[in-house]
Structure 1
Amino acid sequence: MNIFPVIPGYRVEKKIGESQVADVYLGVQEHLEQRVVIKVLEPDLFQDKALAERFFKEAKKTGQFSHPNIATILEAGEANGTHYIVMEYLPESLRDRINHKFGIGEYKLLESAKIPEGYTFLHLLKEVAQALEYAHRQGFIHQDITPGNIRFREDGTAVVTGFFISNVIDSPETLKRKGIVFNSPYYISPEQALKKHPDSSSDIYSLGVVFYEMLTGRVPYDAEEPIAIENQHIMKPVPQLPESLSSYQELLERMMAKNKEERLASASQLLQTLDELIYNLPENGREAISELEIPREQRSPYREEQNQIKRKYKPIKGEGKMRMNIDKEELLRTLLNPRIALPVIAVVVIIVVLLVILSPSPDSAGGTPVAKQQALEEKDRQYQYKFQLAQRFFDSGNFQKAREKLKEAEQFKKTPETKELADKIALKISQKKDHNAFKKALADGAAAALEDYLKQFPSGLHVKEVEEKIAALKEEEKKREAEMQRLLASSIKLRSQYKDLAVAEVRAMLKKYGFYEKYYHESGDFKNHYQLKTIKNDPVVYDYATGLMWHQSGSPSYMGIIKAKLWVADLNKDQYAGYSDWRLPTLDEAVSLLENTVNRSGLYIDAVFSQEQRFIWTGDTFEKNKGWAIDFFGGDANKVNFSDVVYVRPVRSLK
């Protein structure tokens, strides 16, 4: 029999994975019946009190992440000594798709897997880079980018997971002391292999390794021992792709450069490079991710269909090729070998002599008309290149990127055409902001949101439409308010004075017109008329059928009758929603909230109210020494001791 961890609010179904840091389970969020992934972290990690505190600190930070390409953390907590993370369920990973493409194992893609038309390896890299760029701006370095940590939603969106764990663990040294290897040696950066502090470029290197595996189906470096793999990351050059994939070699070298100074330093730089590559990609030259769906019998590591990219990324003159930075100690050991050192020294001497002989004099270097002309031509070429990029991005509708490229062009020179394009870009960006603000206000649907649009864009593109919409909303509000006032005028008057009630009296009240019928309604067609409102930032629920205003959320916790009355007194002291006449409801008033059928939460109360308060106090008593409470879970009334703990939902009269 499997023994699964007990996580409050979740039903653990099965174990789906494990690592040295956490066990991974498939679970169900009981309240919403929604599938989730639950990661239970190793207990040994939290023997250190500081690490336990860091767990909750990082949980709060990463829980606030809001990015379409970063997995959503639903909850992180601790129960009975078990530290856990709950996140959205993402059943398929890049590892699964790579295995499927290259015929590794028997994995079959999910039927729900969606791959957008024209979606290339570069588009996938861009989605991951967008996630990294967002996280890096928040101060988070992932440190463990692998195909397993890149997953997919049902709509095909690539999502990065694992930020939380990598930042909960305070340092690699902590893991080493506990005998845990956090990073996979296959995807580790040279600086991580050298036990140096990782930064944003370390994530770029690891993503470069993943990119190589996406293209070839294998990792660039392999060995029997992790230390041997780490040494290859430090010493071995960036592997050459097959000729059929050579279009990607330049990008791969920029991502996997051994020397951090020669590597793409940030996700922002990677995104800029990818945008330029994707823009220049010919329509018939797309290495599509949809290749991951080819029939197995047709698969081979380098299919001819993968060899279609004709255009190779060509960097601006002066950027140069990426060079391998060989470890200095290794180079020194090599040069100290007599069999190697003498020939090398001889060659170096010859080169130095030739450089001295052939080098121009100081007077002739850089100051000649020819050199100046070359510098001007180079400056003009750089300007033309950047300006054309800006124009292309503008034509494609990417106005922010067009502005960036135009600023780069203006570093070389400013011309009437740069000013003209700058004005066009500014206008388009303004119009886009205008349109986005309009769509947001329209989606909100409230008059206040539309009025905010008018304040922000008094001469905007949609002013007339917004003014007409506001007028229509206000007219609707007038009609609705008139109807509510009509209902309020004819509302049922319920007992508001507390009294001592016998059991038989309460039972007769509840069952007079049917098991869940409202006792005060004889015709059988009574219906509440609820309206949720926010007054002074406090949510309340109007019921125009009974003439009552209810506290929408109720008390945050259970409490005895004395504490309940004190809590209501504090509401009045603070003037919740602007009123100071809140009170406990009578049983008559509380029964009016009971519905004939249960809602999705399994309660006999309308979903307009908070669903946490399953039992609420009334002000009525039983034999003077007990109280009456309404049970929304059972749809009934119960007598309770004054010392029992029950929720509170205060009420006040509207008339």
Structure 2
Amino acid sequence: MSDVEELPPGLPRMISDRYEIESLIGRGGMADVYLALDHVLSRKVAVKVLRPDTASNPMVVNRFRREAKAVAALSHPNIVAVYDTGELPAAEQQHERLPFMVMEYVTGKTLKQVISQDAIDAEFAVKVTRGVCEALDHSHANNVVHRDVKPANVMVSDAGHVKLMDFGIARALDNSATMTQTAAVVGTAQYFSPEQARGEQVDFRSDIYSAGCLFYELMTGRPPFTGDSPVSVAYQHVGEIPPAPSQVAQDVDPIYDPIVAKVLSKERDDRFQSAGAFAAALENALNGIEFHEDQSTPATYTLPIYGNHDSTESGFAAQAAPMTTEHPVFTAHDEPVETTRHRTNRGLIVLLSVVALLAVAIASFLVIRSIQADAEKRAPVAIPDVKNLSEDDASSLAARCDFQRTR
């Protein structure tokens, strides 16, 4: 788009009396991205505007707003920043208000373009993956799961900086939020995790799996699974083991094979429990240090992720939950676990549980016996027929039946 071309209907040349639209630089599934000049700060920015043909869909509008909220809560050099948000008023040409967001303008290529155009060596692949993992560690620490990590959503700037972008299907996570609604499948088939393929709830480790798929493609030039349709690819994610990178590309060092095998594990508990741990294993391999399974350190905290709450209206700054052994997520710094103290505490808990159960059993027995005794006292008895008997005979019969004579 040149300066003399007309803008789409409903899109003014000047937005919020501040951002002057210059040219179209990108087009996505639900929005267009324009290069603009911020007249207040005298800098180039990218303005993402929802297209009029999608603005009438509430689900698309909510997704767009969710992206703005998710990224606005994050501040990291490896994440494309959001500076401002707002809505364009309805116009005569279009009757819907158009949400927009003003973002950091990054000059460079998407990782998808880099893979298709350039030969990639192991050092560059590890560097890019490290940048993505640092961005994920930050978003996960702020309880945001990206859910669509793929080469098209990673920018490599002209200066070589890595930027993760497009949090359009990201979800915030609090004590009741879920990552995926029931039976909903979100993400991109070649890069989403087995739990996403099954339509299950996802957590931080789903992003780590996708980062593993991204690294696999950087090293081999192709994703771990390909197929004729997204459904066939999804089945492979769920039930098949991808070939080792060194088997796909002969120039790949086999030292990376066990790392890739771990990060692409079908079960979440078997993967790296933080993006940083995955990146650290790659850097060690780059320096010739082989990865062994016992190098993986378990996470020291987790967050509850199960429920039916939609995070569209929820906050994005949930606090980390206390340490637990269920659904480990990650930590920024792992500490050794005191196993002796844990065993002692576990034994004490078992002993107290047994004592409590015995106390409950004894109390229950005494209560039941008391109820039975009371019932026996109140049980009806047959009254003997003393008609036509003498007084002595009647008294004798009543005494044998435990009846007492009263006057």
Shift in alpha-carbon separation, 1:160–1:26, aligned structure 2, 3 A: same
Shift in alpha-carbon separation, 1:76–1:237, aligned structure 2, 3 A: same
Alpha-carbon distance in 2 for matches of 1:222, 1:71: 29
Alignment partner, residue 94 of structure 1: 111
1:198 corresponds to which of 197, 202, 205: 202
Alpha-carbon distance in 2 for matches of 1:213, 1:2: 40
Superposition pairs of residues 609-628 of structure 1, within 5 angstroms:
none
Q: Which letter does structure 2 place at the counterpart of 1:66? A: S
Shift in alpha-carbon separation, 1:139–1:255, aligned structure 2, 3 A: same
3-state SS in 1 of match to 2:191 = coil
Gapped runs of 5+ residues in structure 1?
104-114, 283-309, 320-399, 414-655
Measured after TM superposition, the shift of residue 175 of structure 1 is: 12
8 A Cα contact 2:225 2:242, kept in partner: no
Measured after TM superposition, the shift of residue 156 of structure 1 is: 2.3
3-state SS in 1 of match to 2:242 = coil
Q: What CA deviation, in whole Å up to 9, does each residue of 1:311-346 have, x standing for no partner? A: 532333999xxxxxxxxxxxxxxxxxxxxxxxxxxx
Whichever structure has more helix as a proportion of its residues is: 1
Measured after TM superposition, the shift of residue 122 of structure 1 is: 2.4
Question: Does structure 1 residue 408 correspond to structure 2 residue 336?
Answer: yes
Shift in alpha-carbon separation, 1:42–1:149, aligned structure 2, 3 A: same
1:249 corresponds to which of 250, 254, 257: 257
Q: Which letter does structure 2 place at the counterpart of 1:211? A: F
Alpha-carbon distance in 2 for matches of 1:2, 1:122: 44
3-state SS in 2 of match to 1:163 = coil
1:84 corresponds to which of 96, 100, 107: 100
Measured after TM superposition, the shift of residue 183 of structure 1 is: 2.5
Q: Which letter does structure 2 place at the counterpart of 1:248? A: Y
2:228 corresponds to which of 205, 215, 224: 224
Shift in alpha-carbon separation, 1:190–1:57, aligned structure 2, 3 A: closer
Superposition pairs of residues 159-238 of structure 1, within 5 angstroms:
159-163=163-167, 166-167=170-171, 183-238=187-242
Identity %, equivalent residues: 28
Question: TM-score, normalization: structure 1?
Answer: 0.38
Question: Does structure 1 residue 34 correspond to structure 2 residue 72?
Answer: no
Measured after TM superposition, the shift of residue 276 of structure 1 is: 5.0
Q: What CA deviation, in whole Å up to 9, does each residue of 1:538-565 have, x standing for no partner? A: xxxxxxxxxxxxxxxxxxxxxxxxxxxx
Shift in alpha-carbon separation, 1:51–1:134, aligned structure 2, 3 A: same
Question: Does structure 1 residue 136 correspond to structure 2 residue 140?
Answer: yes
Alignment partner, residue 637 of structure 1: none
Question: Greater relative contact order (Cα 8 A, min sep 6): structure 1 or 2?
Answer: 2
Shift in alpha-carbon separation, 1:193–1:57, aligned structure 2, 3 A: closer
Superposition pairs of residues 358-507 of structure 1, within 5 angstroms:
407-408=335-336
Measured after TM superposition, the shift of residue 202 of structure 1 is: 0.9
RMSD over equivalenced CA pairs, Å:
3.7
After superposing the two structures, state which structure 1 stretch, 88-97 or 77-86, moved more: 88-97
Alignment partner, residue 156 of structure 2: 152
Alignment partner, residue 361 of structure 2: none
Alignment partner, residue 68 of structure 1: 77
Shift in alpha-carbon separation, 1:315–1:49, aligned structure 2, 3 A: closer
Alpha-carbon distance in 2 for matches of 1:137, 1:2: 43
Shift in alpha-carbon separation, 1:102–1:44, aligned structure 2, 3 A: same
Alpha-carbon distance in 2 for matches of 1:128, 1:136: 12
Measured after TM superposition, the shift of residue 182 of structure 1 is: 5.8
Alpha-carbon distance in 2 for matches of 1:214, 1:318: 23
Superposition pairs of residues 600-615 of structure 1, within 5 angstroms:
none
Shift in alpha-carbon separation, 1:28–1:280, aligned structure 2, 3 A: same
Q: What CA deviation, in whole Å up to 9, does each residue of 1:354-397 have, x standing for no partner? A: xxxxxxxxxxxxxxxxxxxxxxxxxxxxxxxxxxxxxxxxxxxx
8 A Cα contact 2:263 2:278, kept in partner: no
Shift in alpha-carbon separation, 1:35–1:207, aligned structure 2, 3 A: same
8 A Cα contact 1:140 1:163, kept in partner: no
Q: Which letter does structure 2 place at the counterpart of 1:94? A: L
Q: Which letter does structure 2 place at the counterpart of 1:408? A: P
Measured after TM superposition, the shift of residue 174 of structure 1 is: 11
Question: Does structure 1 residue 274 correspond to structure 2 residue 279?
Answer: yes
Measured after TM superposition, the shift of residue 43 of structure 1 is: 4.9
Q: Which letter does structure 1 place at the counterpart of 2:228? A: E
Aligned residues: 282
1:259 corresponds to which of 267, 279, 285: 267
Measured after TM superposition, the shift of residue 18 of structure 1 is: 2.4
Q: What CA deviation, in whole Å up to 9, does each residue of 1:272-317 have, x standing for no partner? A: 35335525644xxxxxxxxxxxxxxxxxxxxxxxxxxx55323339
Superposition pairs of residues 502-541 of structure 1, within 5 angstroms:
none
Shift in alpha-carbon separation, 1:88–1:317, aligned structure 2, 3 A: closer
Gapped runs of 5+ residues in structure 2?
90-96, 173-177, 298-330, 342-407
Alpha-carbon distance in 1 for matches of 2:145, 2:226: 25
Alpha-carbon distance in 1 for matches of 2:59, 2:222: 39
Q: Which letter does structure 1 place at the counterpart of 2:114? A: R
Measured after TM superposition, the shift of residue 172 of structure 1 is: 6.5
8 A Cα contact 2:272 2:296, kept in partner: no
Alpha-carbon distance in 2 for matches of 1:163, 1:151: 13
